[in-house]
Amino acid sequence: MLIEITHDPIDPDAVRRSVGGSHDGAVLLFLGTVRNHNDGRTVDGMEYEAYEEMASEVLRAIAEEAATALGTDRVAVVHRIGSLAVGEVSVAIAVSSPHRAQAYDASRYAIEEIKKRLPVWKREHYTDGERSWVRGQTPRPVEEKANMSEPPSDGRPGSAGAERGKGGMA
Amino acid sequence: MRVQTRFFAFYRDLLGSTELTVDLPDGATVGDLVSSLRGRGRPFDGLPVAPAVAVNRTYRGLEAHLTDGDEVAFIPPVAGG
């Protein structure tokens, strides 16, 4: 599986190709990008920071859980850190599956878990020169989390309430 | 015992440092570490009473016991994606 925290620009097609797909009927590619506005302010860039050693491990765990939900190991997840301009890709998730339902579930699961527990932060740069950290979600220890959310294998990842933080990806 | 703390993003900005070595009594918990740091006064008292913390790259609760040489990272609310 392609799982990576990278300082380099993401090539979405390379991420998609890494999951193959010739024997599957559904290949799904999700891209998170930097948008040009948030909370009524004009954004001209985003700076991503990670606790890199831990983020690599957490990203691998998320990808493996998504693969379990998908029923194949054809999952790729790449997250970029560093300074990104508006429109650039910050995260790419590719999944390949015989059928679309599992592909959508696995892809959704991966992005929701990234937002809940990947140790990555982002700071918006506004056109007026100000910068501010984007409000996010507080990660929970696993033993506590197990009582609070559904296991990944039930095929219904994510929830409407999951996105409490402001800003980031459209 | 001695643990290595690390601070990221907003917490790093708050404290003006990325890491700090802290001496604690044997048997201390994550909660004891947080109290000890906050007890130093400004700017450490700007840390939350119950921050998210990772011990050796795994999220742990305040009740978790620490051992000599642990790496304890203070994790501000995460905002990947």
List the single residue in B9, B60, B77 with the smallest CB-CB distance to A138: B77
Judged against a pLDDT cut of 80, whether residue A146 lies above it is answered with no
Structure confidence by residue, pLDDT tens digits, A19-74? 986 778 899 999 999 999 988 899 999 999 999 999 999 999 999 999 998 988 99
pLDDT band at A78 (very low <50, low <70, confident <90, very high): very high
pLDDT at residue number A89: 98
Residue-averaged pLDDT of chain B: 98
Note whether A142 and B81 are within 8 A (CB): no
Note whether A112 and A55 are within 8 A (CB): no
pLDDT band at A155 (very low <50, low <70, confident <90, very high): very low
CA A77, CA A32: separation in Å to the nearest integer? Answer: 11
Structure confidence by residue, pLDDT tens digits, B29-53? 999 999 999 999 999 999 999 999 9
Q: Does A138 touch chain B (CB under 8 A)?
A: yes
pLDDT at residue number A142: 82
Share of chain A above pLDDT 70, in %: 83
Pick from A59, A77, A58: nearest CA to A142: A58
Structure tokens at A50: 């990670």
User: Which chain B residues are within 8 Å of A120, Cβ to Cβ?
Assistant: 78-81
Note whether A119 and A58 are within 8 A (CB): yes
Judged against a pLDDT cut of 60, whether residue A159 lies above it is answered with no
User: Which chain A residues are within 8 Å of B29, Cβ to Cβ?
Assistant: none
Residues 6+ apart with CB under 8 A from A79: A4, A5, A6, A48, A50, A55, A59, A90, A91, A114, A118, A120, B80, B81
Mean pLDDT of the region B8-14: 97
Q: Higher-confidence residue: A32 or A157?
A: A32
Please state the separation of Cα A77 from the chain's center in Å: 7
Pick from B39, B36, B46, B45: nearest CA to B72: B36
Judged against a pLDDT cut of 50, whether residue B4 lies above it is answered with yes
User: Which chain B residues are within 8 Å of A51, Cβ to Cβ?
Assistant: 6, 8, 54, 57, 73, 75
Note whether A167 and A38 are within 8 A (CB): yes
